[in-house]
Structure formats: C-alpha cells, structure tokens
Amino acid sequence: MTTHDQIRQIEVDAGPRRFARGWHCLGLARDLTDGKPHQINAFGQKLVVFAGEDGTINVLDAYCRHMGGDLSQGIVKGNEIACPFHDWRWGGDGRCKQIPYARRVPLRARTASWPTLVQDGMLFVWNDPQGNPPPADVTIPRIPQVDDDRWTDWIWYETVIEGANCREIVDNVVDMAHFFYIHYSFPTYFKNVFEGTAAYQYMDGAGRDDVRPATPSRNNPTVLGTTSVAAYHGPSFMIDEVTYHYEDLDVDTILINCHYPIDENSFVLQYGIIVEKKDGISDADAELMAAKTGKFIKYGFEQDVAIWKSKARIDNPLLCEEDGPVYQLRRWYQQFYVDVEDVTPEMTDRFEFEIDTTRPNEAWRAEVEQNLAARRG
C-alpha cells in the first residue's frame, strides 16, 4: 500500500470561463451562402449566420432584442434577417432596419454583431470578450493554393465533441508520442516553435510497415514517409502542410484543423483538405487521394475523441524528457484567455523545443517489428 504523499496527485486549475480571443473559422463560405439562416452555437451563445442578397455573410447574436425570438429560425429578406416571431428586420451591422407594422424603429435597436472575414473559402469570426475589433496585425495567412486549378477543392468535415474543453485538441500540437500510439504515424523528427500568436510543429514521419496495406496497389501505394509543417495561427486555426512521400513521387496536401468552442465543455471540430494535382495524376485520382486522406484524418480524430471522452483534465502533467513542451504550449495558449493588456512577454516570446527522437524511435521500431511478427502469425 502506498502512502498518500508518495502518490502524485492530478491537479486541476480553474477552467477558463471565457472563450479565446481570436479569429475562429466557422466553416466553408459555400455552405453558409445559401440564403438561409444558419444556427451556430459558439462562445457559450447562439449565433445566426446569414448571407443577404448582396452576398455578404453576417454573424449576429441569434436572440432578437424585441421579445427574444430565435433569428436562426427566421427568414432572410433582402439583406436582412427577419425574426420568425414578429418580423423585425435585422441588418448585418446588428441594427434593426425595419419593423413592418411600426411607424419607426425604437432607439437603441441594436444587437451584437461579430466581425467576419471570408478568406480562401472559409468564414472566420472574431471573438473578443473585451469587445475590441480585430487588430490589423492579427491575421490568418493566405492559402493561395485554394484558388489554384492545380489543387483540388476543399473537402470539409465537421464533428461535435462533447465532454471536453478545446484545450485538449490544442495540446496535440506538442504531443509527439500520441502520434505513434493514437495516429499510427512514426515521428522521426519533432520540433515546436512558439512566437507571438503562432505555434508551429515541424514533424517528419517514417512509414509504418505494420499499418500499411499488406499488398500495395496503384490506388493504394506505400507511403514511405511524411514531412509536415503545421501551425496554429491564433488559438483555434491550424494549417498543416503535409507532403506524402511515395516511391516515385511526392504529393503535397494542405490540411486545416480548426475548432470553435460551443461552451467550456464542448466544441465543434472541423477539418479540411486540399491536394495538389501532380503531373501524371488525373484529377479524379487527386480527388480520390483527398477523400482518402480525409478519411484517414477523420479516423485519427475519432481516436483522439475516444481518449478525450474518458480522460481527466490535468494541469500538472508528469512529463518525461522525450515529451514535448506541454507547459510552454499552455503558457502560449494562455495569452488568448487574458485581457489583451495582461498578455505577458513570457506568453509570446519565441520558444523552441526539439525532441531527441533516438530513444522513442528505438522503442517504436521494436514495437513495429513485434506487430509485423504477430501479423505473420
């Protein structure tokens, strides 16, 4: 029997009661510009997203300031959203433009509207608990490949994660070992760099013989390895540039891994994929590859979700030297949860951490060998 003071206790700090300051992707613009209102539960609130006749996408608080009607159940009329309860018309700027049965609109008929950005096919909203507008230097990098004919169109997935705070998914960016155990990859190089509002992950991976198709075919070629440069740009939007190395060619992909909080204990996870159409690969094959990559990533996230659903929140993780910089990542992440004037240099100063993969790779090679031996029977 161990005594109490020999046991390391899991500690849980006060969970954030606010939602991160920053640009959050709500989805693809093409899915939100159908002239219908869309309900989005985010940042502990209910929002309505709609595009009027002018094509501009607007994001408003969903609850009508008249008698509380749900605007996401309303109808888009012209450039306004009409409340289903008494037909008050709200513009994208949050102002009530018209009440069909009234002589005039009362004073202060204004609801919360959210700054938006449509870029590279995606809709972003700016969340700031202090209500400040987005600073000009806090941006999402452009992805010119989206408009390039040599790349496929977005394949996009969305899934709701219940029972976990979105910090769990952000932790992944430093968690090298989980890529082997949860995602069937084999990291051989792993480095993180945090600076300002960006958190980078440089990862090279080897192919895994034990998860490969037993008989590779033209449609299912053997991945020899991957090179990945991934980065969070702000608290919730990650771009991951992954090159898949095959025997006779390299295929470039760009993945998006983004989320927005529904509340403190649930979030919406979204991911998108575009794939470069290489010479000698037909458009159909490139689309197929994008779809396959999407399936693989979907499977990967399902593995994460299974872990998140049953794990504990832990603020004092016990780390070995082969783990990544979990504490420093959380220190970086903290900048999005404090008032902008309380952001300290330690949260944003450049920090680098390169893992020594020697020992992990020895252990993983042995495990792959064991799996192969088991497969051979």
Partner 1 sequence: MSTPRTDVRLDVRLEAAPMQPVGCGTCGATVLARKSSWDQTTLQWTAAALATCAERRTTTAGSERPNRNAFTGCSALTAAIRAAAVAGQLDVQSDEPLPTNPEAHP
* Positions in the binding site for ligand FES (CB under 6 A): 64, 66-69, 83, 85-88
The number of helix segments (H) and strand segments (E) in the chain equals 6, 18
Query: Which range touches partner 1 (CB under 8 A), out of 84-92, 204-212, 236-244, 277-285?
Result: 236-244
Report strand pairing: 22-28 vs 45-51.
Answer: unpaired
Query: Do 259 and 270 form a contact (C-beta atoms < 8 A)?
Result: yes
Report the alpha-carbon angle 176-177-182, nearest 5. 110
Q: Pick between residue 82 and residue 242 the one whose CB is nearest to ligand FES.
A: 82
Task: Give the separation between CA 109 and CA 107, rounded to whole angstroms.
Answer: 5
* 167-196 footprint of partner 1 as x/- string (CB under 8 A): ------------------------x-x-x-
Task: Determine whether 99 is exposed, middle or buried from the number of CB atoms within 10 Å of its CB (0-12, 13-18, 19+).
Answer: middle
Report the alpha-carbon angle 332-337-339, nearest 5. 110
Task: Tell me the two tokens of residue 287.
Answer: 């689309």
Look-up of token digits 């990967």: 300
Task: Give the separation between CA 368 and CA 216, rounded to whole angstroms.
Answer: 18
Give the shortest CB-264-to-partner 1 separation in angstroms: 14
Report strand pairing: 89-90 vs 96-98.
Answer: antiparallel
Q: Pick between residue 257 and residue 328 the one whose CB is nearest to Fe ion.
A: 257
Give the shortest CB-258-to-ligand FES separation in angstroms: 32
Give the shortest CB-46-to-ligand FES separation in angstroms: 14
Task: Give the separation between CA 288 and CA 292, rounded to whole angstroms.
Answer: 6
Task: Tell me the two tokens of residue 78.
Answer: 């012209």
171 binds Fe ion (CB under 5 A): no
- Residue 85 binds: one of Fe ion, ligand FES, partner 1, none (C-beta under 5 to 8 A by kind): ligand FES
257 binds Fe ion (CB under 5 A): no
Task: Tell me the two tokens of residue 192.
Answer: 């993180």
113 binds partner 1 (CB under 8 A): no
- Residue 328 binds: one of partner 1, Fe ion, ligand FES, none (C-beta under 5 to 8 A by kind): partner 1
304 binds Fe ion (CB under 5 A): yes
Of residues 113, 116, 172, 192, which one binds Fe ion by CB under 5 A? 172
- Residue 172 binds: one of ligand FES, partner 1, Fe ion, none (C-beta under 5 to 8 A by kind): Fe ion
Query: Do 102 and 82 form a contact (C-beta atoms < 8 A)?
Result: no
Q: Pick between residue 26 and residue 355 the one whose CB is nearest to partner 1.
A: 355
First to last CA, the chain: 40
Which residues ranging from 119 to 148 are in contact with partner 1 (CB under 8 A)?
Answer: 141-145
120 binds Fe ion (CB under 5 A): no
Give the shortest CB-200-to-partner 1 separation in angstroms: 6
* 244-263 footprint of partner 1 as x/- string (CB under 8 A): ----------x---------
Residues at the site binding Fe ion, with contacts judged by CB under 5 A: 172, 304
